[in-house]
Structure 1
Amino acid sequence: MPRRNVTLLLSATLMLGAQVAHAALPDEATLYKSPSCGCCAAYGDYLEERGVDVEVVETTNLSETKERLGLPHGLGSCHTIEMGGYVIEGHVPGAALDRLFAERPNVKGIALPGMPAGTPGMPGEQDQALTVHQFGGDDTSVFMTLPITAG
């Protein structure tokens, strides 16, 4: 096979692999955030880079939205997302989103509490393992723990 054809075949394979990695994510999401929060907008950009069309809804009463969507106390962050039938709270990394939509567990949603540095949309270096929780009804448990990424 000529070298040019091998290069084209390899490029096509790599591009297909990149699409497959994100194929499980829904096409659309609604992100609820405070009008003044820049990191929330950056997370919306992160989702859009992964192929999700994000509708941003600005609200001055985010706690009411979290309550309406059933987010348990103690799992909150600066923004809340409705996507593909789930509630996603905070700066949840792509690995957790990919797992959620590949496995589709019987939960209401997942959350990364707080605003950890180095997560999508947050500046700085990740300096701790990230514990993503799953929740539904009165139950919460660990969904997955992501190790510290090399900076």
Structure 2
Amino acid sequence: MKVTSMKRRLLIGSIAALPLLQTLPARAAASKVHVYKNRSCGCCTAWVEHLKTAGFAVDVTETDDTAAVRKRHGMPERLAGCHTGVVEGYVLEGHVPAADVKRLLAAKPQAVGLAVPGMPVGSPGMEYGDRKDPYKVILVDRKGRETVFASYPG
């Protein structure tokens, strides 16, 4: 009799969890980042791993011309990093922390995306021991205006 009762509880619990399970594929699809990077760049690969560790699904396209990708997606060249990501219509240029990507996706501003210009030491994928240089994450709106989205003091 106890076995039947346990099976019944398991069945009822499974049925109750079904609506939650049905939302998982939509959430996973909504957080897929497509990264364009040079095939030989180790820091780009490290940034991809940073995103995966933070829960993002990541597709990678290797290219020798990330400038063309930036231009196609509307990210100004002056904010160039060493790779470009695209997620839910937003551009991620350079070593943008995953936490800032999540905040961007939650806020959904009218913007081109986020950029971390250059390759600042200590940013995700650019770790070098305990060294952390200060850097800013820049939000680029659709008119090309730039505002500081996040600051990292180093």
One-letter code of the match for 1:132? V
Whether the 8 Å CA contact 1:29–1:52 is kept in 2: the answer is: yes
Cα displacement (A) at 1:142: 1.6
Q: Find the aligned partners of 1:137 and 1:59 in 2 and give their Cα distance.
A: 25
Higher helix share: 2
Q: Find the aligned partners of 1:147 and 1:29 in 2 and give their Cα distance.
A: 23
Question: Could you tell me which of 139, 144, 148 is aligned with 1:139?
Answer: 144
Structure 1 residue ranges, 4+ long, deviating more than 6 angstroms after superposition = none
Question: Could you tell me which of 119, 122, 130 is aligned with 2:123?
Answer: 119
Whether the 8 Å CA contact 2:37–2:82 is kept in 1: the answer is: yes
Q: Find the aligned partners of 1:66 and 1:53 in 2 and give their Cα distance.
A: 21
Find the counterpart in structure 2 of residue 75 from structure 1.
79
Question: Could you tell me which of 27, 37, 43 is aligned with 1:33?
Answer: 37
Structure ranking higher on relative contact order (CA contacts 8 Å, 6+ apart):
1
Q: Find the aligned partners of 2:103 and 2:148 in 1 and give their Cα distance.
A: 9
Instruction: Map Cα deviations across residues 43-71 of structure 1 (whole Å, 9 max, x no partner).
Output: 00111111111111000111111111111
What's the secondary structure of 1:110's corresponding residue? Answer: strand
Q: Find the aligned partners of 2:59 and 2:98 in 1 and give their Cα distance.
A: 18
Whether the 8 Å CA contact 1:133–1:140 is kept in 2: the answer is: no
One-letter code of the match for 1:104? K
**TM-score, normalising length from structure 2?**
0.74
Q: Find the aligned partners of 1:144 and 1:28 in 2 and give their Cα distance.
A: 21
- Pick the structure with greater CA Rg: 2
Q: Find the aligned partners of 1:137 and 1:109 in 2 and give their Cα distance.
A: 9
Cα displacement (A) at 1:126: 1.2
Instruction: Map Cα deviations across residues 81-132 of structure 1 (whole Å, 9 max, x no partner).
Output: 001221010101233223211211110111010000011111222122x211
CA RMSD of aligned residues (A): 2.0
Whether the 8 Å CA contact 1:32–1:62 is kept in 2: the answer is: yes
One-letter code of the match for 2:146? S
List gaps (5 residues or longer) in structure 1: 1-22
| Identity between Structure 1 and Structure 2 (%) | 37
What's the secondary structure of 2:153's corresponding residue? Answer: coil
Cα displacement (A) at 1:135: 1.5
